[in-house]
Chain A
């Protein structure tokens, strides 16, 4: 399954959820979904903006871990 390591990068860059959400142009609720690995997909445009704001690559944010996807 795909793991989103957004909170780690955010901590490294010392940026709050509010700031990031505002700079990327998404709601805090959606950012929270992404951070908590509850999202089903991410648009390239959103990923692009996140990478631009956090000065990182998609590989820094997204990671792959073996095992089945959790279904809520």
Chain B
């Protein structure tokens, strides 16, 4: 299957992510109010947990849309993509730190004792940290590939 180009898999993924981003932003905005109304959860607590993570996920999705956009243009190995991957890695690391703060907030402020919920939060911290490292490694790989491509293009 074709990955690059206007009718490639990259473009399908880009459109899917654009839809996900639109739905995601709307969901993040209204979710605290829905949880407050339906489950009676504290509105402030919902804001603290949902909004920062929602912003982080939205930024990561937006960056990936830009990344897949370069696949549509048949030019995946460029300096811009290296920057996108590096920035996304940093954002994911910030996300990991936010999950740690959420964990502390849930345990100290809300006095949460649900072990499954705490385990989920710890898992998310580790997951975001792992993703940030993976993205950093990928950005370095893209950097090397961009250098090789440039060298190949400038060999006469």
Contacts and interface: CB of A to CB of B under 8 A. Distances in A.
A41 B150 CA distance: 11
Interface of A: 26, 30-31, 33-34, 38-43, 46
Nearest to A32: B156
B108 to A, nearest CB: 51
B155 interface: yes
Contacts of A41: 151, 154-156
A26 B154 CA distance: 13
A46 B155 CA distance: 10
Nearest to B154: A40
Contacts of B156: 26, 30-31, 33-34, 39, 41-43, 46
Interface string B112-156: 000000000000000000000000000000000000001100111
Nearest to B150: A40
B93 to A, nearest CB: 29
Contacts of B151: 40-41
12 contacts: A26-B156, A33-B154, A33-B156, A38-B154, A39-B154, A39-B155, A40-B150, A40-B151, A40-B155, A41-B151, A41-B154, A42-B155
A34 B156 CA distance: 7
A43 B155 CA distance: 7
A43 B150 CA distance: 15
Nearest to A29: B156
A46 B154 CA distance: 13
Interface string B87-127: 00000000000000000000000000000000000000000
A47 to B, nearest CB: 9
Contacts of A40: 150-151, 154-155
